[in-house]
Amino acid sequence: MNNAQNKSTVATIPVERVEQAILVNRGEKVILDSDLAGLYGIDTRSLIQALKRNSRRFPADFVFQLTKSEFEALRSQIVISKGRGGRRSLPYAFTEHGAIMAANVLNSERAVEASVQVVRAFVRLRQMLVSNEELARKVEELERTYDAQFKVVFDALRALMKPPEPKRTRLDFR
């Protein structure tokens, strides 16, 4: 694949796709190794090999391996298949800094370009979180100022500020 084809492939990765791959685990926003490998255009095995070859570049606050219970919880949340084949080891979770370091270690054009989208997605999520916290603080200030007749309005505002529940699709095999 030449450089022009590679760049056009990366340009088609929307930030929204990266945002969907970002999960929260251990209080950190992370991307699982399989999702990051897909964004960077390599297989998961190659990403993990690069991680292990360059372990000094990946401290615990950049990447960590999920425990069995964390993986089971994720499997039930995001409907990861339990099918035959697949993973033989627990997945790694990359923080924003770990995802950028992985792009540097991989040193491919696609990885570098895709890492820009990864950073944009993390920044966008951080901005949404900050604006939501600011809105919550303003609602609390207003609630302290006004009497109980506005309680319904404040309760409705809080309900609107809650993040939506993840959509669960039921698979029904007959």
Residue 24 sits in a domain of what CATH number?
3.10.260
Which tens digits make up the pLDDT trace of 25-42? 888 889 999 999 988 889
Residue 65 included in any domain: yes
Which tens digits make up the pLDDT trace of 90-133? 999 999 899 989 988 887 778 878 877 888 888 887 777 777 77
Domain that holds residue 37: 3-126
Residue 36 included in any domain: yes
Higher-scoring residue by pLDDT: 148, 53: 53
Banded pLDDT at 60 (limits 50, 70, 90) = very high
Residue 143 included in any domain: no
**Helix 44-53 and helix 33-40, axial crossing angle in degrees, nearest 10:** 100
Question: Residue range 135-157: average pLDDT?
Answer: 70
Give the chain's domain count. Answer: 1
Mapped onto helix, strand or coil, the DSSP state of residue 141 is helix
| pLDDT (0 to 100) of residue 93 | 94
Residue 77 included in any domain: yes
Banded pLDDT at 12 (limits 50, 70, 90) = low
Cα separations (Å) of 97 from 40, 46, 57, 59, 116?
15, 19, 10, 10, 12
Residue 139 included in any domain: no
